[in-house]
Amino acid sequence: MMYSEKVMDHFMNPRNVGEIEDASGVGTVGNAKCGDIMKIFLKIEDGVVLDAKFKTFGCGAAVATSSMATELIKGKTIKEALEITNKAVMEALDGLPPIKVHCSCLAEEALHAALWDYAEKNGIVIEGLEKPVNDISEHEHLPEEDY
């Protein structure tokens, strides 16, 4: 098997699948054209991430990194949440095959997109957070041929 046991565990038994009805922030990243879309929901109160859920269209690594990213962010302050990089997600999963590293980048971006959404909704600025490039908001159509 090309995946580590941890990756397979998070793929077979993904943690935090689902939606949060009254999410504080929602981030959707990726593109169906390249085969991965991640949508992450965060519940934030008093600057702390209380809950995180996800829905993902994609390969085993995409599901596993979504699962791990939501696990890592739960209970973190916003400042700590920003420190969850793609490397952190990968390390927590005992690594990914080289061709799947982009899935961990997408997971990081999904977290950032959800935090960005939270910041926008609340009119605040999160220091050190930039709008993720692969952000696709709910109301926009997927990018067409120009991707």
Partner 1 sequence: MDRIYYFDNAATTRVSPEVIDEISKYFSESYFNPSSIYTPAQKTKEAVEKAREKVARAFNADTKEIYFTSGGSESDNWAIKGIAEAYADKGRHIITTAIEHHAVLHTCEYLETKGYEITYLPVDQDGLISLDDLKKAIRPDTILITVMFANNEIGTIQPIGEIGKIAREHGIIFHTDAVQAAGHVPIDVKELNIDLMSMSGHKLYAPKGVGALYIRKGIKIKNLIHGGQQERGRRATTENVPGIVGLGKAVESACANMQEETERQRRMRDRIIDGILSKIDHCWLNGSREKRLPGNINISFEFVEGESILLLLDMYGICGSSGSACTSGSLDPSHVLLAIGLPHEKAHGSLRITLGRFNTEEEADYLIEKLPPIIERLRQMSPLYEEYIKNKRG
Least CB distance from residue 127 to partner 1, whole Å? Answer: 29
Q: Pick the catalytic residue: 32, 34, 124, 142?
A: 34
Of 80, 74, 35, 34, nearest to 54 (Cα)?
Answer: 74
Four-point Cα dihedral 84, 53, 113, 69, nearest 10:
20
Is 59 catalytic? The answer is: no
Least CB distance from residue 128 to partner 1, whole Å? Answer: 27
Angle (CA) 141-142-147 rounded to 5° is 135
Nearer to partner 1, 7 or 126 (CB): 7
Nearer to partner 1, 30 or 108 (CB): 30
Q: What does the alpha-carbon distance between residue 92 and residue 74 come to, in Å, rounded to a whole number?
A: 14
Is 105 catalytic? The answer is: no
Q: Which of 12, 79, 94, 137 binds partner 1 (CB under 8 A)?
A: 12
Nearer to partner 1, 57 or 75 (CB): 57
Largest distance between two CA atoms of the chain: 46
Helix (H) / strand (E) element for 54: namely: strand 48-57
**Is 108:86 a contact under the CB 8 Å cutoff?**
yes
> Of residues 14-53, which lie at the interface with partner 1 (CB under 8 A)?
14, 17, 19, 28, 32-39
> Of residues 52-81, which lie at the interface with partner 1 (CB under 8 A)?
55-63
Residues that bind partner 1 (CB under 8 A): 8, 11-12, 14, 17, 19, 28, 32-39, 55-63, 99-100, 102, 142
Q: Which residues are catalytic?
A: 34, 103
